Structure 1
Amino acid sequence: MLLIHLFIYLGIIAAGVSGALVGIKKELDLFGVVCLCIATSLGGGIVRDILIGNLPPAAFVDAKYFFVSLTSGLFTWIFYQKIKRMNHLVISDAIGLGVFTAVGSNTAMSLFSDNYFLILSMGLITGIGGGVLRDIFSKEIPYVFKKEVYAIASIVGALSFILIHGTVSNTFAMYVCLLVTFLIRIIAVIYKINFPIYREKTDLPSNL
């Protein structure tokens, strides 16, 4: 499980940086940037724990997750000019999506092992929840709703966890979930695989 914990921290950092970058771009003050950072990195897990009655949420019980997120937000604030020049944090973001999906699925499985729909839903909510909160708080249409193959990667990853759970160890099932989610997300980015967008045809001017 050591590697999983390392990936969890990487996921928190990647999500936190993305939240802080949005906050700075929206010209929030330092407090606002830090709040958006924490909401992005820990929000999905908090929503998951509230929904399944795992109270208080793990993010409040174990303070180290909060401090890792806080540090990533402050780091982004201080080194913003250097960080914003980085093209994308696609790799770490994809790892974060995979880790959060695996952790969410495993948490739900430990409490509701016979409710597969709930397990899949909690994996998805943990994976994408923070990003959705980030976009809502910053008054943007959530990124996950805009053609990108993002939520589907999380769903397939959670499904892979459910399918092999019980035949292998929990840890191995989480690794598979992480890997499946990560690969789908990366392949979609590399090959520019997106969902279609419905565009209404505009009427031509009547004088043409």
Structure 2
Amino acid sequence: MTATTFFSLLDVLGTFAFGLSGALVAIRRRLDIFGILVLAAATGTAGGIVRDLLLGDVPPEVLRTIWPLAVTSLAGLCAFFFGPVIDRLTRPVMLLDAAGLGVFAVAGCNKALAAGLEWPGAVLLGMITAIGGGVLRDIMAAEVPRVLHEEVYALAALAGAAAYATCVAFGLTGAWAAGGAVLLAFAIRVASVRYGWTLPRAGRD
């Protein structure tokens, strides 16, 4: 499998995971099938759109090809028809969010590095790519974005992107480096929820 194919697969997996998380949130908010598909599409594509715009890759990929909307539509339909089955999992939205977070952090960082950005900018763009869909999903669902109040969220994406950029800097590229970075971001996010890790907050009078 070539590097291009591998990262294209990562994009598809991240888009599906975020699309499914958006659709599940829509179902919990009791939206109809159209609302479910809209929220799935917004969650699955927002991060990639922001990434492409910041890199000057216009029009964004979601407007050039049909696959992003096709993948998010499939995610929305899966949630619509199999929502009760998915809900049997423990905290399915969080798990899907964590998976999408790790995948998009690495994919976004990789695209930024390929575009010629230095590692600090590439890591930052990887994080932005990862959190963009979740932020838009929560806003559209009339919720405070998780990135602003939940356990370690953006920091997990930042760690995954930084791990991948570090691997590239030492000449370690390909599936092993990307897969390890994705797993790191996923593990940090899930562990933060499981063990209640939080970042310091300002004291109150």
Same fold by TM-score greater than 0.5: yes
User: For the residues of structure 1 that align with 2:89 and 2:169, how far apart are their CA atoms?
Assistant: 41
User: For the residues of structure 2 that align with 1:83 and 1:72, how far apart are their CA atoms?
Assistant: 12
**Is 1:106–1:170's contact at 8 Å kept on the other side of the alignment?**
no
After superposition, residues 127-166 of structure 1 pair within 5 angstroms as 127-166=130-169
Look up the match of 1:113.
Answer: 117
Offset of 1:81 from its aligned partner?
3.2
User: Is 1:181 aligned to 2:185, yes or no?
Assistant: yes
| Pairs aligned (count) | 200
* CA displacement 1:49-87 (0-9 Å, x = unmatched): 112211121223332222111011012112333333432
User: For the residues of structure 1 that align with 2:194 and 2:9, how far apart are their CA atoms?
Assistant: 25
Structure with larger Rg: 1
Residue 168 (structure 1) aligned to one of 167, 171, 182: 171
Which TM-score applies when normalising by structure 2?
0.85
Deviates more, 1:171-180 or 1:126-135: 171-180
**Is 1:24–1:77's contact at 8 Å kept on the other side of the alignment?**
yes
Deviates more, 1:176-185 or 1:30-39: 176-185
**Is 1:97–1:182's contact at 8 Å kept on the other side of the alignment?**
yes
The change in CA–CA distance for 1:149 and 1:78 in structure 2 (over 3 A counts) is: same
User: Is 1:42 aligned to 2:38, yes or no?
Assistant: no
User: For the residues of structure 2 that align with 1:6 and 1:48, how far apart are their CA atoms?
Assistant: 17
Structural RMSD (CA) = 2.3
User: For the residues of structure 2 that align with 1:107 and 1:61, how far apart are their CA atoms?
Assistant: 17
Deviates more, 1:101-110 or 1:154-163: 154-163
Offset of 1:38 from its aligned partner?
0.8
Look up the match of 1:29.
Answer: 32
Deviates more, 1:126-135 or 1:185-194: 185-194
Which TM-score applies when normalising by structure 1?
0.84
Determine what percentage of the aligned residue pairs are the same residue.
37
Residue 13 (structure 2) aligned to one of 7, 10, 14: 10
Unaligned 5+ segments in structure 1 are 202-208
Q: Which has the higher helix share?
A: 2
Offset of 1:161 from its aligned partner?
2.1
3-state SS of 1:23 partner:
helix
Q: Residue type matched to 1:179 in 2?
A: L
Q: Residue type matched to 1:184 in 2?
A: I
User: For the residues of structure 1 that align with 2:160 and 2:187, how far apart are their CA atoms?
Assistant: 10
Unaligned 5+ segments in structure 2 are none
**Is 2:167–2:173's contact at 8 Å kept on the other side of the alignment?**
no
